[in-house]
Structure 1
Amino acid sequence: MGQQYSQPRPGIKLQVIGAGLPRTGTASISRALEILLDGPVYHGGTQAFLGPEREIKTWIQVLNQWRPESISIRRSNLDLIKERVDGFVAITDSPGSTLVRELMAIYPDAKVICTVRDIGSWERSMATVSNKSTQWFLRFILFPLPSLRYFVDYIDALRQQCTSPG
């Protein structure tokens, strides 16, 4: 966890779902959980951007099917989420923090922890990140980089999910 991709450990069961939004200390809580629970933590941003392309592509697929209209799509989404998260003791950061209901359906015994931050400070921090992640040329700059070439699509899918009604 941290600034490197974490490897899942077969047989490990998810114990904690981090419901805190990005920029609320998710990296710090991830490190603490890694130590306390003695296992790998799925920090969404780190895993999606530093891991194999299947990580970020899976999350884009799940987020683009947000509010599934059929039971089969919901089941498919739950299977995809489980495939990404199995083998980790906890999940923090986006997209996990926006999929708490789905994660609870898969891991009903998991505890939910929500990290928070002063609203004004959080808004300023997110505005800085958001402004940089939506610059028109970013897609071209990131294209040669595995996983990161999908960054703009991932951010767009997260935004759509977070702003959709219901």
Structure 2
Amino acid sequence: MGQEYSAPRPGTKLRVIGAGLPRTGTASFTKALSMLLDGPVYHTGTQSTLGPEREVKTLIEMLRLIKTDIDPADRAKALALMKGQLDGYAAVTDAPYCSLAPELLELYPDAIVICTTRDVDGWTRSMSGIASTATQGFLRFSLYLLPSMRWFPDYIDALIVYYGVLTGLPTPEAWARHVEKLKRSVPPEKLFFYDVRDGWEPLCNILGVEVPEGVEFPRINDGKALDAFAKKQIRTGLLRWVVVFGSVAAAVGAAVMARG
């Protein structure tokens, strides 16, 4: 995931739709884009967990509406939610927006689509690890007292209902389907593939900007960042429950003593 919540900048035009699946260097990609585009980037994993509750609640509602194309009214509402969430950002990355490139191009027709890539076997192993962590049942209890994070289990449920991002996604076949969908639904002149291990030059070529002189390409380990964040949030949540239970126990004890 990314490093910190990014607030929108009014008037900023969305120029890049990040279509890379989670664990393809999206945190490094996000940081690099924010530097090259000189604007805030919406990294969905970070915004949904470190931002105000409206971020994750909007994503849950959007996923509920966009999961089917049967009702045009629901789809229109979903697109309106997307626009309300992404206006003011120079780019968007991470799930679920990485799988909504066609819809985002409807809203931002001048944007380009960049899909971050990596070796498929490594991606499959990495995603399988996050799947087992994110779906553990105790998360709902341990995170309940934390703003924004209390909605995280519902957000995971919405992702699973939408396209099985944490249960059915981590397979080579799913990777191939994602790439094929992009090639089928995005105009070829707007679609680019990029590996963050290649650094500045290919990304700058795609964007048509100069390579930053003397600036090291950001290297953020998505897996380590996510693991550290998850452990910190669970620990904080459980400590808050300890305080709650301790306060209740103290109150009960005081009441008993007062009666005695």
Q: Is the 8 A contact 1:48 1:147 kept in 2?
A: yes
1:59-138 correspondence runs (5 A): 59-65=59-65, 66-138=67-139
For residues 39-66 of structure 1, the C-alpha deviation after alignment (integer angstroms, 9 at most, x for no partner) is 0000000001100001001111111121
Question: Once the 2 structures are TM-superposed, how far is the Cα of residue 16 of structure 1 from its aligned partner?
Answer: 0.1
Question: What percentage of aligned pairs have identical amino acids?
Answer: 56
Which deviates more, 67-76 or 144-153?
67-76
Question: Once the 2 structures are TM-superposed, how far is the Cα of residue 69 of structure 1 from its aligned partner?
Answer: 2.3
Greater Rg by CA: 2
**SS of the counterpart of 2:116?**
coil
Corresponding residue for residue 56 of structure 1: 56
- Point out where structure 2 has 5 or more consecutive residues left out of the alignment: 169-180, 182-260
Calculate the TM-score normalised by the size of structure 2.
0.61
**SS of the counterpart of 1:114?**
strand
- Point out where structure 1 has 5 or more consecutive residues left out of the alignment: none
Deviation >6 Å, runs of 4+: none
Question: Once the 2 structures are TM-superposed, how far is the Cα of residue 95 of structure 1 from its aligned partner?
Answer: 1.6
Aligned length: 165
* Cα distance in 1, alignment partners of residues 57 and 2 from structure 2: 21
Q: Is the 8 A contact 1:9 1:88 kept in 2?
A: yes
Calculate the TM-score normalised by the size of structure 1.
0.94
**SS of the counterpart of 1:7?**
coil
Larger relative contact order, structure 1 or 2 (CA cutoff 8 Å, min sep 6): 1
Question: Once the 2 structures are TM-superposed, how far is the Cα of residue 156 of structure 1 from its aligned partner?
Answer: 1.6
* Cα distance in 2, alignment partners of residues 158 and 100 from structure 1: 16
* Cα distance in 1, alignment partners of residues 82 and 105 from structure 2: 11
For residues 59-86 of structure 1, the C-alpha deviation after alignment (integer angstroms, 9 at most, x for no partner) is 1111112124222211111110000000
Q: Is the 8 A contact 2:3 2:27 kept in 1?
A: no
Q: Is the 8 A contact 2:2 2:45 kept in 1?
A: no
For residues 14-51 of structure 1, the C-alpha deviation after alignment (integer angstroms, 9 at most, x for no partner) is 00000000000111111111010000000000001100
Letter in 2 for 1:127: S
* Cα distance in 2, alignment partners of residues 116 and 2 from structure 1: 17
